[in-house]
Structure 1
Amino acid sequence: MGMADKRPLLDYTDDVEGKDGCQDAQEPALMGIGFKPGQAPTLLWYFRQIVLRRKLVLGLFLMFVFSYFLIGPADVLDLDNIQVHHQSNVLDMEGYLVYSNHCRIVDLDPYKREVMRHFKRVAYKSCKSHPPLTIIHYNATTQRYVLNIDASALANSKKRSKLSCCYMGVERVSETDVSYTPCVKFKSGAQLDNATDSIIVKCKVERDQVYINGHPTIPERSAVRQRLDHWAQKDQGKRVPSVLMIGIDSISRVNLIRAMPKTAQYLYDNDWFELAGYNKIDDNTFPNIMALMLGYNLSTAMKRCNPYTINGLDRCDFIWKLFQKHGYVTAYGEDAIKINTFNYLKKGFQQPPVDYYMRPYLYAAEKLLGGNSVLGMPHCVGYATEAEHVYNYAQEFARRYHNDSFFGFFWTNTHSHSDISQTSSMDEYLRGYMQRLVAQGTMENSVVVFFSDHGLRFGPTRSTGSGHLEERLPFLFIWLPEFVRKAHPEFVDALRINRNRLTTPYDLHLTLKHILSLTGRVGSQEDLGGAKDCPQCQSLLLPVPLSRSCEDVAIEDHWCTCWPYDSVYHNSKVVRQMAEYVVRYLNDYVGSFRNGSLAHLCQPLTLQSMSEAYKAYLKDMYPKNIEIYRLIFYTNPNKALYEATVRFNDLLPDNESFSVTGSVSRLNEYNGEADCMEDFAIKKYCYCKNTRY
Structure 2
Amino acid sequence: MSDKRPLLDTSDSQAEDDGCNSNSREFSKTTGITYKSTAAAPTVFWYGRQILLRRKLFVGVLVVFIFSYFVIGPADVLDLDSVSGIVQVHHQSNVLDMEGYLVYSNQCRIVDLDPYKREVMRHFKRVSYKPCKQRLPLTQVRYDETTRRYVLSINSTAFEEYPVKHTLSCCYMGVERVSETNVSTTHCQHFKSKAQIANTTDSVIVKCSTERGQIYINGHATIPERTEIRQRLKQWRKQDQGRRVPSVLMIGIDSISRVNLIRAMPKTAQYLYDNDWFELAGYNKIDDNTFPNIMALMTGYNLSNAMKHCNPYVSGGLDKCDFVWKRYKQHGYVTAYGEDAVKINTFNYLKKGFKQPPVDYYLRPYLAAAEKMLDVNMVLGLPHCLGFETESEHVYNYALEFARRYRNESFFGFFWTNTHSHGDISQTSSMDDYLRDYLLRLVAQGTMKHSIVVFFSDHGLRFGPTRSTWSGHLEERLPFLFIWLPPFMRSQHPEFVEALRLNRNRLTTPYDLHLTLKHILTLTGRTNSLETGLDTAKDCPQCQSLLLPVPLNRSCEDVAIADHWCTCWSYDAVYKNSKTIRHLGERVVHYLNDFVTNFRNGSLAHLCQPLALQTITSAYKARIVDTADLSGNQVYWLTFSTSPNQALYEATVRYNKRLPSEENVMVTGSVSRLNSYSGEADCMNDFAIKKYCYCRHKSG
Give the alignment's TM-score, normalised by structure 2.
0.88
The alignment partner of 1:580 has SS state of helix
Q: Hey, what does 1:565 align to over in structure 2?
A: 571
Structure 1 position 523, deviation (Å): 2.6
CA spacing shift, 1:126–1:68, aligned 2, 3 Å: farther
Q: How does 1:242-321 map to 2 (within 5 A)?
A: 242-321=247-326
Which protein has greater RCO, CA pairs closer than 8 Å, 6+ apart? 2
The CA deviation at 1:205 is 0.2
The equivalent of 2:652 in structure 1 is 645
Query: Closer, same or farther in 2 for the Cα pair 1:603/1:281, shift >3 Å?
Result: same
Q: Deviations over 1:544-574 (max 9, x none)?
A: 0001000000000000000001111101000
Is 1:369–1:381's contact at 8 Å kept on the other side of the alignment? yes
Residue type at the aligned position of 1:591: T
Contact 2:499/2:549, CA 8 A, preserved across alignment: yes
The whole-number CA distance in structure 2 between the counterparts of 1:507 and 1:290 is 13
Corresponding residue for residue 682 of structure 2: 675
Separation of aligned partners in 1, 2:432 and 2:388: 19
Q: What SS does structure 2 have at the residue aligned with 1:616?
A: strand
d(CA) in 2 for partners of 1:325, 1:354: 11
User: Does the 8 A contact of 1:75 with 1:117 survive in 2?
Assistant: no
Instruction: Give the drift of 1:625.
Output: 2.2
State the distance in 2 between where 1:419 and 1:475 align: 17
Structure 1 residue 648: deviation in Å?
1.0
**Cα shift at 1:419:** 0.8
Q: Secondary structure at the match of 1:443?
A: helix
What residue is the counterpart of 2:420 in the other structure? 415
Which whole-Å CA distance do the structure 1 matches of 2:574 and 2:217 have between them?
Answer: 60
- Out of 533, 538, 543, the position equivalent to 2:544 is 538
User: Does residue 475 in structure 1 map to residue 480 in structure 2?
Assistant: yes
Figure out how many residues of one structure are paired with residues of the other and give that number: 631
Q: CA deviation at 1:73?
A: 9.6
Partner in structure 1 of residue 52 of structure 2: none
**Counterpart amino acid of residue 105 in structure 1:** I
Structure 1 pair 158–379 and aligned structure 2 pair: CA distance change class (3 A) = closer
Task: Report the equivalent of 1:515.
Answer: 520
How far apart, CA to CA, are the structure 1 residues paired with 2:409 and 2:254?
29
Query: SS at the partner of 1:655?
Result: coil
Which amino acid in the other structure matches residue 134 of structure 1? Answer: T
Instruction: Kindly indicate whether the alpha-carbon contact (under 8 Å) linking 2:107 and 2:625 is maintained by their aligned counterparts in 1.
Output: no
TM (norm. structure 1) is: 0.89
Q: In the superposition, relative to structure 1, how do residues 69 and 130 fare at CA in structure 2: closer, same or farther (>3 Å)?
A: farther
Distance 2:69 2:389 in 1: 38
Q: Give the AA of the match of 1:315.
A: K
For the residues of structure 1 that align with 2:562 and 2:161, how far apart are their CA atoms? Answer: 63
Any conservation in 2 of the 1:649–1:658 contact (CA below 8 Å)? yes
Contact 1:86 1:268 in 2 (8 A): yes
Does the 8 A contact of 2:506 with 2:550 survive in 1? Answer: yes
Q: Distance in 2 between matches of 1:659 and 1:458?
A: 25
Q: Percent identity?
A: 73
Secondary structure of 1:583's partner?
Answer: helix
2:172 pairs with 1:167 = yes
Moved more, 160-169 or 627-636: 160-169
Distance 1:469 1:524 in 2: 35
CA–CA distance in 2 between the matches of 1:187 and 1:69?
Answer: 66
Instruction: Give the deviation of 1:301 after TM superposition.
Output: 0.4
Q: SS of the residue aligned with 1:286?
A: helix
Instruction: Report if aligned partners of 2:80, 2:86 keep a CA contact under 8 Å in 1.
Output: no
Cα distance in structure 2, aligned partners of 1:176 and 1:165: 28
CA deviation string 1:480-511 (max 9, x = no partner): 00001111000000000000000000000000
Report how far residue 79 of structure 1 moved: 1.9
**Conserved in 1, the CA contact under 8 Å of 2:680 and 2:694?**
yes
The change in CA–CA distance for 1:68 and 1:211 in structure 2 (over 3 A counts) is farther
Once the 2 structures are TM-superposed, how far is the Cα of residue 80 of structure 1 from its aligned partner? 1.5
Q: In the aligned structure 2, how far is the partner of 1:472 from the partner of 1:202?
A: 45
1:579 aligns with 2:585: yes
Change (3 A) 1:319 1:121: same
Please say if residues 272 and 479 of structure 1, whose CA atoms lie closer than 8 Å, have aligned partners that are also in contact.
yes
Q: Are residues 160 and 408 of structure 1, via their aligned partners in 2, closer, same or farther at CA, if it must alter by over 3 Å?
A: farther
Partner SS state of residue 652, structure 2: strand
Tell me which of 473, 491, 504 is aligned to 2:496. Answer: 491
CA contact 1:72–1:117 (8 Å) conserved in 2 = no
Aligned position for 1:406: 411
Q: For 2:639, which of 632, 638, 651 is the aligned residue? A: 632
Cα separation, 2, equivalents of 1:618 and 1:171:
55
Aligned to 2:29: none
Task: Look at both structures and tell me which one has the larger radius of gyration over its CA atoms.
Answer: 1
Q: Which runs of 5+ in 2 are unaligned?
A: 1-67
| Paired residues of 1:517 and 1:525 also in contact (CA < 8 A) | no
Deviation at 1:377, TM superposition (A): 1.1
Corresponding letter in the other structure for 1:144: R
Rounded to whole Å, the distance in 1 between the matches of 2:76 and 2:70 is 10
Q: Which runs of 5+ in 1 are unaligned?
A: 1-62
User: Which letter maps to 2:320?
Assistant: R
Aligned to 1:656, the other structure's residue is in SS state coil
| Mapped partners of 2:162, 2:203: distance in 1 | 29
The aligned residue for residue 40 of structure 2 is none
Q: CA offset at residue 64 of structure 1?
A: 12
Contact 1:199–1:215 (8 Å) recurs in 2:
yes
Residue 327 in 1 paired to residue 336 in 2? no
